[in-house]
Chain A
Amino acid sequence: MVIVGGTNMRKILATIIAVTSLGYSSAFAGTLVINTDLTDPAPKAAFDWAFNKFQEENPDVTIEVNNFDHEGYKQAIRNFLTTNPPDVFNWYAGNRMLPFVRAGLVEDVSDIWSDTGWVDGNLTEGMSHAKKPMTIGGKQWGIPYTYYQWGVYYRKDLFEANGISVPTTWDEFVAACATLKAAGITPITIGSKYLWTTAGVFDYLNLRTNGYEFHMALTKGEVPYTDPKVHAVFDKWDELVKPGYFLENHASLAWQEAIPPMVNGEAAMYVMGNFSVALFKEGGLTNDNLGFFQFPEITPGIPMAEEAPTDTMHIASGAKNKTDAKRFLIFLSRADVQEEMNKTLGQLPVNSGSKVDPDPFLEAGLNMLNNAYAMAQFYDRDAPAEMASEGMKGFQEYMVNPDRRDKILERLEKVRQRVYK
């Protein structure tokens, strides 16, 4: 909790200057209540820094933080938004925020995005690539402050030992898998006990086979799951599942439990998010033998969209101190603030004016995302919760029993018709 009560003359003066230079003045200063689930060390440190910095710049505001346990937060948010709304809370972009937006619990912050003198510089310019996931019904509902890339993490040394170069096309990718398999190495490791890892594979196969627009149409429920284009995705998936290129018994492993095989050299690749790097390195891998490459092209000519789940800050519609809440969101969108926070988070700043640390994985990710055609949020954030849960169950079942594809897709289609009606 950060409480600052300094009231000396200089600070007041500085505040007045700061406030007027923002082209905006707060009639009464107050307490800013922020609810978060940032209990992990890195996010907590990043936000502690941000809170202190904000306080320094705005001494008239007292920040009050309520920190929730990460899992408990998913439950708590439904309660506190309806009964005791904070001013600011963190959540996720895409469809994940839809139920709250639809229930009128989130404040419309389109004015921050529309660049009417709120911020120095131009928010829309610096974050235009992230505007879409924040938009529902033509309005923006929050500010993204960090994201991370997904892609293929691989063992450089195993690739080298087997004479494989980084695959850029699907055929090369499948060939690499075959070579590894023949050498007695599991080509791709995965732990699907908690289902979501399978969605990472599905998303990329779909984004590469049919493109971003089709993927979005599917997750928005506009296309049936029995569509030939969906079958085409599973045809590609078949090429990996049927020859046994994925780790055995993956349905009983958590995503972390699928890391040791790769650390031990029993497996060579993992379709994962950048947060896994920390764990790989804890296991003993270094920048010398751990590498990253973009998921290879499948259908030639389709613009490459990437998976980049975004974390966001929102204002509750029931907030008592909306003016300071908006000041905080603007503060959080600034390039220098995002740069500093993401250094601690080990993730990528959303504002394109920010720089990242010289880390090969962050640099590769930043480079990939800055050139991305579009960004998907991840299956369970793009699709509504009900559809996502059934979908991911289906993907897991398919990955163990590829011959059940038709039955699974028919079941998913039934769910789709119910969920999106």
Chain B
Amino acid sequence: MPGSTQIPYRKSSWWKLNQQRLTPWIFLFPGLVLFLVYVIWPIFNSLYISLLQWDGLSPAIYVGFSNYIELLDDEYFYISLINNIKWLIFFMLAVPIGLGLAIFLNQTIFGIRLIKSLFFFPFVISQVVIGIIFAWFYNPRGVIGPFLEAIGLGNYAILADEDFATYGIIFAGIYPQIAYCMILYLTGLNNLNTDQIEAGRMDGAKGLSLFKNIILPQLRPATFLAIVVTVIGSLRSFDMVAIMTQGGPWGSTNVLAYYMFETALSEYGYRMGYGSAIAAVLFTIMMFYILFFIYRMYKSEKKGL
């Protein structure tokens, strides 16, 4: 250790020597503490609560895995799980629709900026407002029902139909998501390499083949991002469900997040243990997705992309 012989600086030498290594940790320290207290600790705490029978007031009773065993035999749990999958699948439609809109709007005509911002508008509106407005549309005395009645198809309230209510909510949820994907693609389209397109044109590529072989590969980062935010959006379906149906009719539009809320925290809930067990399952599903996502990121970075 070369520094150890410099007597005048002996007192501060440890700090001097380790400054480089320590500084990042000092900066990270407040964030890490918050992360531990508000993220890591609650995760383990709710895993622990999922082993209890507890209403939040009376003393908790340790019941082992019986909450999980009950979950296996719970009709609503499976309905929620299937609805989560429906959300994951159909929410993905936002990506191609967003791409289509982006390409459609990627023109240089007068006033296109205004039109672009109008298309982006739904993303600016709060989810709550969108949920309420769509619920009004779907209301049998709202917009769609009376319209169908007027053209002789009979009144229809999608949110009262257990088979299709979930799709009604997904449709409302997709509306702002499309705008989000569109904006991602619009920025992607701005950064296209014109040389490549020129070269492609010279080689005789046009229309679909130009789009598929030259444009789309260049949009890969945008696509990746669009898929990620859409998956995350579909897992956050809680607010739409809470606003539009409260999981009804008779629990048929529940998703795991809302079902957890309903059992643990709603007016008739207060089964903290059972709610935590649902949360644990949701956490596991999300964990798998996040790990997959991190793995892909790691791999693509290794490739030097």
Could you give, for residues 87-104 of chain A, a 1 whenever the CB lies within 8 Å of some chain B CB and a 0 otherwise? 000000000000110110
A252 at the interface (CB under 8 A from B): yes
* A248, B57: Cβ atoms closer than 8 Å: no
* A389, B246: Cβ atoms closer than 8 Å: no
Per the bound structure, the CA–CA distance linking A81 and B57 in Å amounts to: 9
B96 at the interface (CB under 8 A from A): no
With A249-B140, A389-B268 given, is the CB distance from A99 to B145 under 8 Å? Answer: no
Could you give, for residues 388-408 of chain A, a 1 whenever the CB lies within 8 Å of some chain B CB and a 0 otherwise? 110001101100100000000
- Shortest Cβ gap from B60 to chain A (Å): 12
With A388-B268, A418-B70 given, is the CB distance from A260 to B141 under 8 Å? Answer: yes
Determine the residue in chain B with the shortest Cβ distance to A82: B57
Chain A residues lying within 8 Å of B141, measured Cβ to Cβ, are: 253, 257, 260
Determine the residue in chain B with the shortest Cβ distance to A408: B250
- Shortest Cβ gap from B94 to chain A (Å): 25
With A248-B140, A257-B141, A411-B75 given, is the CB distance from A193 to B248 under 8 Å? Answer: yes
Q: How large, as a class, is the contact surface on chain B?
A: 20 to 34
Per the bound structure, the CA–CA distance linking A194 and B262 in Å amounts to: 13
With A82-B57, A248-B155, A249-B160 given, is the CB distance from A99 to B270 under 8 Å? Answer: yes
Chain B residues lying within 8 Å of A100, measured Cβ to Cβ, are: 57
Q: Which of B75, B138, B160 has the most CB of A within 10 A?
A: B160
Secondary structure at chain B's binding surface: helix, strand, loop or mixed? loop
Secondary structure at chain A's binding surface: helix, strand, loop or mixed? helix
The residues in A between 236 and 263 inclusive whose CB is less than 8 angstroms from any CB of B are 248-253, 257, 260
A231 at the interface (CB under 8 A from B): no
Chain B residues lying within 8 Å of A194, measured Cβ to Cβ, are: 246
Measured CB to CB, the residues of B under 8 A from A are 55-58, 70, 75, 138-141, 145, 155-157, 159-160, 162, 245-246, 248-251, 262, 265-271
Per the bound structure, the CA–CA distance linking A75 and B271 in Å amounts to: 14
* B160, A400: Cβ atoms closer than 8 Å: yes
- Shortest Cβ gap from B148 to chain A (Å): 12
With A249-B140, A397-B249 given, is the CB distance from A99 to B160 under 8 Å? Answer: no
With A252-B138, A385-B270 given, is the CB distance from A102 to B75 under 8 Å? Answer: no
Could you give, for residues 189-205 of chain A, a 1 whenever the CB lies within 8 Å of some chain B CB and a 0 otherwise? 00001110000000000
Chain A residues lying within 8 Å of B139, measured Cβ to Cβ, are: 252-253, 257
* B57, A249: Cβ atoms closer than 8 Å: no
Besides A193-B245, A386-B268, A388-B268, 5 other CB < 8 A contacts? A99-B270, A257-B139, A394-B250, A396-B249, A411-B75
Chain B residues lying within 8 Å of A397, measured Cβ to Cβ, are: 162, 249-250
* B251, A249: Cβ atoms closer than 8 Å: no
* A252, B58: Cβ atoms closer than 8 Å: no
A78 at the interface (CB under 8 A from B): yes
- Shortest Cβ gap from A385 to chain B (Å): 4
Per the bound structure, the CA–CA distance linking A78 and B267 in Å amounts to: 11
Chain B residues lying within 8 Å of A99, measured Cβ to Cβ, are: 55, 57-58, 270
- Shortest Cβ gap from B253 to chain A (Å): 11
